[in-house]
Chains A and B, each alone.
Chain A
């Protein structure tokens, strides 16, 4: 079957895919630490999370979001941090993706203004890893997030890809 025949061909045996809200993570961060002209990291200092099924806890300090500034001004994001539930179970989080905005929106974002998240694109792949009891359903799922940056907090809305 060539590419032409494939255009518009439905593949009914591939499952329909949809998104389901999984959790919201609200992260506090320090000012970015500049490494070189392209690279910086943002120390992640803490925060909280709440899952759709009622799991709650905190963001452990010590994680970081490693960012690379592309020539067009957009950001590659690579955040690596950990969550701990209120009852002491740990979850590793890896969040990799893209944040891009027009120059004017970027200026308002970095100066701490409240910016409507519809004005920029902030999406990541999310991978959660844990071997904690009762959390096996979080390990080995494919997630994505949409992000919203406030002055004090970054809110990461994680969705499971079903």
Chain B
């Protein structure tokens, strides 16, 4: 086995994204497509603080028996005023029972589903350029009590 650097995860920041009700586009290209509007939110943590700019969204493709494809795109405005674009693609995997429980407004622990993302950032601001030099992963929690998705972003070192 070749020698390689063992990757480490380092917590960078958390986004709490306020979402609106999902719009069902319906069957498109062979699978149900949905759109969840992003209404705003906040960002905090050791590496970044700021707010989520309203107007983004999460485009989802749900194929029965498979993972849900996620494709969220929005902007973060850092505390220093700089804008950071995020494309946060990933997967949500859980049983139909878990899906129903979430839709019914029950509290569902994050350990009952797999909700992981591969965020990519773009920004012009030199002080945040490190976000574009590094690979990140996200782990998310659906807080249906607050209509909020909480995503913790980790740098892959």
Contacts and interface: CB of A to CB of B under 8 A. Distances in A.
Contact of B116 (A3, A123, A142): A142
Interface string B1-43: 1111111010000101000000000000000000000000011
B105 to A, nearest CB: 16
B60 interface: no
Interface in B135-157: 135, 137, 139-141, 143, 150, 152, 154, 156
Interface in B53-104: 66-67, 79, 90-91, 93
Main secondary structure of the interface of B (DSSP, over half): strand
B4 A148 contact: yes
A118 B4 CA distance: 8
B5 A118 contact: yes
B125 interface: no
Interface string A35-50: 0000000000000000
A144 B46 contact: no
Given A14-B110, A146-B6, A161-B116, A98 B135 contact: yes
Contacts of A111: none
Contacts of A19: 7, 9
Nearest to B110: A15
B2 A123 contact: no
Interface string A115-148: 0011001011101000000000001111010111
B44 A6 contact: yes
A13 B7 contact: no
A139 B1 CA distance: 25
Nearest to A74: B133
Contact of B156 (A100, A118, A144): A144
B123 interface: no
Contact of A97 (B4, B6, B135): B135
B27 to A, nearest CB: 19
Contacts of B114: 141
B3 A117 contact: yes
A140 B117 CA distance: 11
Contacts of B141: 11, 13-15
B5 A14 contact: no
A8 to B, nearest CB: 8
Interface of A: 1-9, 11, 13-15, 17-19, 24, 26, 74, 96-98, 100, 117-118, 121, 123-125, 127, 139-142, 144, 146-148, 150, 155, 157, 159, 161
Interface of B: 1-7, 9, 14, 16, 42-46, 49-51, 66-67, 79, 90-91, 93, 109-111, 114, 116-118, 120, 133-135, 137, 139-141, 143, 150, 152, 154, 156
List the 10 closest A-B pairs by CB distance, nearest first.
A140-B67, A6-B44, A142-B116, A125-B118, A123-B135, A3-B49, A14-B141, A17-B139, A155-B2, A15-B110
